[in-house]
Amino acid sequence: MEIVTPKLGLIFWQLVIFLLVLFLLAKFAWKPILVALRDREDSIDNALRMAEQAKLEMQNLKAGNEKLLADARHERDQMLKEGQNIANQLVEKAKTDATEEANRIAQQARESIQQEKNQALAEVRNTAAQLSVDIAERLLRRELADPAAQQKLVDEYLKDVKLN
- Domain membership of residue 163 (yes or no) is no
Q: How far apart are CA 147 and CA 140, in angstroms?
A: 12
44 occurs within a structural domain: yes
Q: What is the pTM of this model?
A: 0.41
Q: Are 67 and 60 a contacting pair, CB within 8 Å?
A: no
Structural domains of the chain, count: 1
Domain housing 76: 8-156
- Could you tell me if residue 112 is inside a domain? yes
C-alpha torsion 103→108→110→111, nearest 10: 140
Does some domain include residue 162?
Answer: no
Per-residue pLDDT tens, the chain, 164 aa: give them.
566 777 888 889 999 999 999 888 888 888 888 899 999 999 999 999 999 999 999 999 999 999 999 999 999 999 999 999 999 999 999 999 999 999 999 999 999 999 999 999 999 888 888 887 877 777 777 776 777 777 777 787 777 766 54
- On whether residue 18 sits in a domain, the answer given is yes
- The verdict on residue 96 lying in a domain is yes
Question: Residue 161 falls within a domain, yes or no?
Answer: no
Contact, 160 vs 154, CB < 8 A? no
2: in domain: no
Task: Specify the pLDDT at position 30.
Answer: 83
What is the predicted pLDDT for the residue at 55? 94
